[in-house]
């Protein structure tokens, strides 16, 4: 981690003594990492909470996404002078030493505010539990999805005639794609229409995670795992991994995939109507809706057996505070639980940004069902696959970055699938052999 420099920064930002809080109000500090369209939607939710809870002085602070955010959050918890509530990607929970850097939720207190375990998918809810205590409450899941240009797909004969297309283009919906051969055929048909590669996805760039997310989606469909259930052993299946890597390499070699493009480039290429398909997280829906692109969205097709997709979840956590649930901080802890419960129960607004609400009642809410195309892929909630629990896994993690750079070579043509597999396993063993810097859980390679 950043060591002394990070500790020095921490002492000057976000952890000063309370000030400026109106008399009689309960101070509630909230840290998050949401920018862009997510930031706008979160600000709307924060303002609505303030309006309904005039006795709570809510101070929401947006910090820089990725490693800077997690460094600051970890150090705040280590010092016991953290905000009352914060956002954490659920797959990163094992690296945050629950019980030391994070405090557990009082589930009875959450229930008093209308939120219980039964209102969430069992697998996602369970990921928030460590050692019999609950440390993370999921707000959403944000999986990889398939965007498609409705005009190009219509010309390629890939749309059903019936039903609205959603998005901003109308038209039909994408015909079912069953298996890798079917998807390849769809890409070839679209390429004939445009004369250009039919698919774009992130293939390169500084700290590029897209190649890992693509591999993780396809590999999860084979039923393979990267790590053991406890995150301590390497379980990567060579045959299944090579099947996926060979397919990724073929897409590039045949010219069906835009070979060299970074994350902003993929958004720009698809938004300009140059490709029929984009594989990415669902959070770019606002970009394409705003531009007026004729598009819609669907789940990633089951190319290798199972209909699964790589994902993570935004969740709420309670960074460690000394005496959080006793003495003068009791009111602050009560407010933190009330805030978390209110946010998940009002997640329709949050879903406008593309994320699939983790709170199951929202998935049945008519206001959510009217969101198109955001509600079209909601069934993926039952098939999302998060990284196995390890301190180096989860969004913006070392796992994503280090393996992303390896699999980038497969997509650009600079690495063979076998070489990429060999290097990926070597990097995984190195990560397993490295102690968790924040005292989270790690493991030993085999």
**Residue 437 resides in a domain:** no
pLDDT digits (tens, 9 = 90+) for 17-33: 344 566 689 999 999 99
Burial (CB count within 10 angstroms: exposed 0-12, middle 13-18, buried 19+), residue 182? middle
Is there a contact between 232 and 225 (Cβ–Cβ < 8 Å)?
no
Residues 123, 43 share a domain: yes
345 and 211 belong to one structural domain: no
304 and 321, same domain (yes or no): no
Is residue 255 situated within a structural domain? yes
Burial letters 434-446, b for 16+ CB under 10 A, else e: eebebbbbbbeee
Place of tokens 């970009």: 287
136 part of a folded domain: yes
**Same domain (yes/no): 162, 254:** yes
Residue 295 contacts residue 169 (beta carbons within 8 Å): yes
Could you tell me if 88 and 185 lie in one domain?
no
- Give counts: helices (H), strands (E), the chain: 17, 15
Q: What domain count does the chain have?
A: 2
CA-closest candidate to residue 410, choices 257, 189, 274: 257
Q: Whole-prediction pTM value?
A: 0.91
pLDDT at position 325 is 63
pLDDT in tens, the chain (446 residues): 233 333 333 333 333 334 456 668 999 999 999 999 999 999 999 999 999 999 999 999 999 998 899 999 999 998 878 999 999 999 999 999 888 999 999 999 999 999 999 999 999 999 999 999 999 999 999 999 999 999 999 999 999 975 445 565 555 899 999 999 999 999 999 999 999 999 999 999 989 999 999 999 999 999 999 999 999 999 999 999 999 999 999 999 999 999 999 999 999 999 999 999 999 999 999 999 999 999 999 999 999 999 999 999 999 999 999 877 655 568 999 999 999 999 999 999 999 999 999 999 999 999 999 999 999 999 999 999 999 999 999 999 999 999 999 999 999 999 999 999 999 999 999 999 999 887 766 443 33
Q: What is the pLDDT of residue 437?
A: 85
Q: Look at residue 442 and tell me if it is in a domain.
A: no
- Please state, in angstroms and rounded to a whole number, the distance separating the CA atoms of residues 42 and 286: 14
- CATH number, residue 49: 3.40.190.10
Whether residue 446 lies inside any domain: the answer is: no
Q: Are residues 17 and 69 in the same domain?
A: yes
Domain membership of residue 438 (yes or no) is no
CA distances from 399 to 127, 199, 390, 404 (A): 18, 25, 9, 8
State how far the Cα of 259 lies from the Cα of 394, in Å rounded to an integer. Answer: 26
- 441 assigned to some structural domain: no
Query: Does residue 298 sit in the same domain as residue 343?
Result: no
> Do the Cβ atoms of 87 and 395 come closer than 8 Å?
no
- Is 118 in the same domain as 226? no
Query: Which residue from 408, 444, 432, 397 is spatially nearest to 69, judged by alpha carbons?
Result: 397
Same domain (yes/no): 336, 261: no
On whether both 23 and 132 belong to a single domain, the answer is yes
CB neighbour burial string for 30-45, b if at least 16 within 10 angstroms, e if fewer: bbbbbeebbeebbeeb
* Domain enclosing residue 118, as ranges: 4-141+313-377
Domain co-membership, 151 together with 221:
yes
Residue 13 lies in a domain: yes
Let me know whether 360 and 413 are in one domain: no
pLDDT (0 to 100) of residue 326: 59
Task: From residue 203, give the alpha-carbon distance in Å to each of 33, 221, 245, 284.
Answer: 24, 20, 13, 17
């Amino acid at each position: 981690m950043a060591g002394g420099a990070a500790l020095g920064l921490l002492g000057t930002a976000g952890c000063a003594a309370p000030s400026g809080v109106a008399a009689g109000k309960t101070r509630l500090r909230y840290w998050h990492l949401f920018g862009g369209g997510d930031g706008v939607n979160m600000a709307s939710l924060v303002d609505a909470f303030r309006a309904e809870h005039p006795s709570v002085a809510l101070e929401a602070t947006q910090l820089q996404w990725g490693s800077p955010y997690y460094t600051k959050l970890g150090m705040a918890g280590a010092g016991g002078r953290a905000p009352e509530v914060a956002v954490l990607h659920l797959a990163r929970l094992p690296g945050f030493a629950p019980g030391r850097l994070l405090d557990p939720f009082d589930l009875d207190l959450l229930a008093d505010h209308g939120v219980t375990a039964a209102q969430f998918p069992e697998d996602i809810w369970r990921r928030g539990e460590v050692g019999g205590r609950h440390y993370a409450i999921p707000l959403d899941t944000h999986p990889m999805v398939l965007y498609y240009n409705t005009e190009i797909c219509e010309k390629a004969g890939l749309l059903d005639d019936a039903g609205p297309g959603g998005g901003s283009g109308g038209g039909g919906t994408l015909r079912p794609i069953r298996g890798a051969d079917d998807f390849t055929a769809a890409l070839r048909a679209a390429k004939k229409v445009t004369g250009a590669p039919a698919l774009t996805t992130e293939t390169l760039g500084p700290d590029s995670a897209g190649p890992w997310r693509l591999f993780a989606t396809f590999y999860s469909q084979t039923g393979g795992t990267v790590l053991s259930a406890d995150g301590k052993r390497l379980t990567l299946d060579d045959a299944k991994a090579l099947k996926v890597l060979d397919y990724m390499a073929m897409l590039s070699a045949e010219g069906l995939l835009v070979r060299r493009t970074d994350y902003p480039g993929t958004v720009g290429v698809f938004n300009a109507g140059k490709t029929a398909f984009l594989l990415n997280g669902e959070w770019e829906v606002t970009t394409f809706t705003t531009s007026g692109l004729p598009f819609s969205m669907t789940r990633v097709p089951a190319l290798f057996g199972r209909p699964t997709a790589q994902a993570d979840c935004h969740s709420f956590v309670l960074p460690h505070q000394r005496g959080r649930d006793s003495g003068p901080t009791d009111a602050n802890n009560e407010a933190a639980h009330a805030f978390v419960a209110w946010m998940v129960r009002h997640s329709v607004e949050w879903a406008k940004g593309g994320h699939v609400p983790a709170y199951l009642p929202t998935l049945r809410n008519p206001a959510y069902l009217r969101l198109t195309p955001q509600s079209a892929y909601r069934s993926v909630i039952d098939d999302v696959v998060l990284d196995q629990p390890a301190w180096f896994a989860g969004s913006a993690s070392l796992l994503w970055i280090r393996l992303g750079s390896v699999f980038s070579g497969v997509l650009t043509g600079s690495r063979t699938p076998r070489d990429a597999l060999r290097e990926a396993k070597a990097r995984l063993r190195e990560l397993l052999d490295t102690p968790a810097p924040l005292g989270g859980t790690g493991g030993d390679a085999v």
